[in-house]
Amino acid sequence: MKKRYKSPWWINSWHPSGAGFVPVISTRLVFQDRLGGSRARWGIGRMRYMINPGLYAVGAPDADSPVLVTANYKLSFDNLRKNLQHINAWVLVLDTKGVNVWCAAGKGTFGTEEVIKQISAVNLSSVVRHRTLILPQLGAPGVAAHEVTRMTGFKVVYGPVRAADLPYFVENGLKAGREMRTVSFTLRERLAVVPVEFVKSWKIAFAAFLFVLLSSYPSGDMISWSTFFRFLPYVGAILIGCLFVPALLPWIPGPSLAFNGWLVCIVATIIYTLFNTDQLAENMVYLLILPAISSFLALNYTGATPYTSLSGVKKEMKFAIPLIVFTAASGIVLHVIGLWRAI
């Protein structure tokens, strides 16, 4: 019988199991995977970048092979499979609505109920003889291991934080040291979400552009190089908030992200005002508005870090948001007064 279903490129073949044939996935990423990953990183179709939940095979697993559980965000799935070369395992993909393990666990979609549901949906107890599931450690906020065991008989073992440590973890008898269990925040990890943050800041960029454009109206020379150059400091403030603060984070003093963003930008703005030829009043406008923009964007970066807590974010917002609004508004008022007097 011929299959009508057209498999995605990352499915190599089909492998028999105690519960029917299971797709065997490739452990090598190809151009299409990398392209899809880059697109998702830039926020293009990110919420639709998902695969079908269910059971998959890696290598040639049998009834004694380990079962690895993951999310159905394609980027998470790719990150798992590329680390599974030379391993025979089952991969159980949960329906997390295309959200990564850590965020989905926070929302509860990578959760106890979904694990229980998928175990029965794929008839896992017919596939494997043992009764152990390996979950990524960052899924723990959503999954109560003891509840899964009580409902299904499957024991939950939390694996390492990073998929790259999985082969060692499996070989080492499912034991992970503290290093493997602790989240890191390397430069690469800090920069991974920068493109999306940058794309998301378009509203601020657009508002700044309108602000600059309308400011040039009294001069009667709106579409000019001068307008363009007056827009650049705002682009700089956005870059500081979205790119420089994440990159330099370990070296910026102070625990508050909003303060980090403000600090880097006020230093940069002071340097800028020392070297430009603008009037004092105009430079005051920059000193008020630009750090407020960076501060706001850096504050939004809290969601991308693994070291901020909800209580901390709320506390920091209580003083940061009023200050950001107040300084930005003062800057705008000052600027308008300046324009008024120039007429």
Closer residue to other proteins, CB minimum distance, 58 or 75: 75
Binding test (CB under 8 A) with other proteins, winner from 56, 158, 244, 272:
158
Shortest Å distance, C-beta 73 to other proteins: 10
Burial status of residue 322 (CB atoms within 10 A of its CB: 0-12, 13-18, 19 or more): exposed
- Binding pattern for the stretch 160-199 against other proteins, x by CB under 8 A and - elsewhere: -x----------------x--xxxxxx---------x---
Binding test (CB under 8 A) with other proteins, winner from 316, 327, 328, 331:
316
In the chain the beta strands, taken as DSSP E runs, fall at 11-17, 20-25, 54-58, 67-70, 89-93, 132-135, 155-158
Task: Give CA–CA dist 340/9, Å, rounded.
Answer: 63
Shortest Å distance, C-beta 182 to other proteins: 5
Choose one: 39-47, 77-85, 210-218, 333-341; the region binding other proteins (CB under 8 A): 39-47
Choose one: 16-24, 211-219, 227-235, 298-306; the region binding other proteins (CB under 8 A): 298-306
**Which helix (H) or strand (E) element contains residue 327?**
helix 310-342
Indicate whether 137 belongs to the interface with other proteins (CB under 8 A). Answer: yes
Indicate whether 308 belongs to the interface with other proteins (CB under 8 A). Answer: yes
Shortest Å distance, C-beta 106 to other proteins: 5
Q: 3-class DSSP state for residue 317? A: helix
- Starting from the edge strand earliest in sequence, which strands make up the sheet with 11-17, in order? 11-17, 20-25, 54-58, 89-93, 67-70, 132-135, 155-158
Closer residue to other proteins, CB minimum distance, 218 or 255: 255
Binding test (CB under 8 A) with other proteins, winner from 29, 121, 140, 222:
140
In order, the DSSP letters of 28-64 are: S--HHHHHHHHHHHTTSSGGG-B---EEEEESS--TT
Indicate whether 47 belongs to the interface with other proteins (CB under 8 A). Answer: yes
Closer residue to other proteins, CB minimum distance, 88 or 305: 305
Distance from the first to the final alpha carbon of the chain: 82
Q: Which of 212, 238, 233, 234 is nearest to 223 (CA)?
A: 212
Which residues in this chain contact other proteins in the complex, by CB under 8 A? 43, 46-48, 97, 99, 103, 105-107, 109, 137-138, 140-146, 158, 161, 178, 181-186, 196, 200, 249-250, 255-257, 299-300, 302-317
